[in-house]
Structure 1
Amino acid sequence: MKVMVGGTFDPLHDGHKRLLSRSFALAGPDGEVVIGLTNDAFASHKTHPIHPFAERKSDLEQYITGTITAAAAEKKYATRWEVEPLSDRFGSALDADFDAIVVSEETLPVAVEINKMRRAKNLRKVDIHQITCVLAEDGRWISSTRIWRGEIDTHGHLIRTQD
């Protein structure tokens, strides 16, 4: 099965890891995962700073290949995969031949829009697989924005400040 997933992945946090894990599990060992990574121009629309594309791509590659930490080494994926730059919300999903897209609760509307646009082009719709967002210790979603603000770390642990 060919699966697509996309995002900015900066910083790479436990919510992103759930999204990627689901994508690889769905594709299976004989499948393929295409990871759309927002390019610098598209990512610049975020409300917080973003690391350069090359750095974010390297972080993704290190996580997928298990070269970041010993714990990540247990998460090596046998599935074929590639990272492609995203210059908009859709990337190659409007034209590519693939079977499924994996999204979070937050990005579900984009996947629905992709299927509408594919139908308008007489292309078959793709299956949408939605993961639940990973919650931080405070019960709110882990998000890159919250991490950049210094509220939580990449695992959703609250960052306590000394007064």
Structure 2
Amino acid sequence: MKVMVGGTFDPLHDGHKQLLGRSFELAGAGGQVTIGLTTDTFASRKVHPIRTFSTRKAELVIFIENSRFPASWHIEPLSDRYGPAIDADFDAIVVSEETLPVAVEINKLRRQKGAKKVDIHQISCVLADDGRWISSTRIFRGEIDIHGHLLH
């Protein structure tokens, strides 16, 4: 199966790891995962500083290689909300609760272009020790670490 997933992945936290893990699980041994990684320009819209594309990509590569997922994969620059998902030939997109509306919009735009609808697989956001979502913003603010453990 051909699967797409996207994000800024900075810092790479347990929620991101679950998102990526589910993507590779769906793709399976003969499948392929396309990971859209936001460009520096697109990521600059975030409310907190973001490390460079090359730094974030290197961290993703290390995580994926260490995980030894059986599917093939590649990382593409993502310069807008949709990336190649409007036109690409793929079967499924994996999103979090937070990004589900983008996937719904992707299918709407694909339908308008006459492309096949893709399956949307939503994972639940990983919760921190306080029961709230793990997020890069919360990590940047010093509330939690990448595993969702409270820092104060």
| Per-residue deviation, residues 95-122 of structure 1 (Å, max 9, x unmatched) | 0000000000000000000000000000
Q: Does 1:45 align with 2:45?
A: yes
Q: Secondary structure at 2:21's aligned position in 1?
A: helix
Q: Secondary structure at 1:19's aligned position in 2?
A: helix
Q: Secondary structure at 2:85's aligned position in 1?
A: helix
Structure 1 runs of 4+ with >4 Å offset: none
User: How far is the alpha carbon of 1:76 from its aligned partner?
Assistant: 1.3
Q: Does 1:64 align with 2:56?
A: no
C-alpha distance in 2 between matches for 1:87 and 1:14: 24
Q: Does 1:104 align with 2:104?
A: no
Match in the other structure for 1:87: 79
Correspondent of 1:143 among 132, 135, 149: 135
Q: Secondary structure at 1:15's aligned position in 2?
A: helix
Q: Secondary structure at 2:76's aligned position in 1?
A: strand
Match in the other structure for 2:115: 123
The one-letter code matched in structure 2 to 1:33 is: V
| Per-residue deviation, residues 50-81 of structure 1 (Å, max 9, x unmatched) | 00000000000000001xxxxxxxx2112100
Q: Does 1:159 align with 2:120?
A: no
How many residue pairs are counted as aligned between the two chains?
Answer: 152
Query: So what's the TM-score if we normalise by structure 1?
Result: 0.93
Question: Quick one: percent identity of the two aligned structures?
Answer: 71
C-alpha distance in 1 between matches for 2:74 and 2:141: 30
| Per-residue deviation, residues 80-102 of structure 1 (Å, max 9, x unmatched) | 00000000000000000000000
Query: So what's the TM-score if we normalise by structure 2?
Result: 0.99
Q: Which moved more, 1:55-64 or 1:75-84?
A: 75-84
C-alpha distance in 1 between matches for 2:50 and 2:17: 18
C-alpha distance in 1 between matches for 2:68 and 2:124: 22
C-alpha distance in 2 between matches for 1:131 and 1:124: 22
Unaligned runs of 5+ in 1: 67-74
C-alpha distance in 2 between matches for 1:33 and 1:122: 23
C-alpha distance in 1 between matches for 2:68 and 2:148: 23
- 1:67-78 aligned within 5 A: 75-78=67-70
C-alpha distance in 1 between matches for 2:69 and 2:119: 22
RMSD across aligned positions (CA)? 0.4
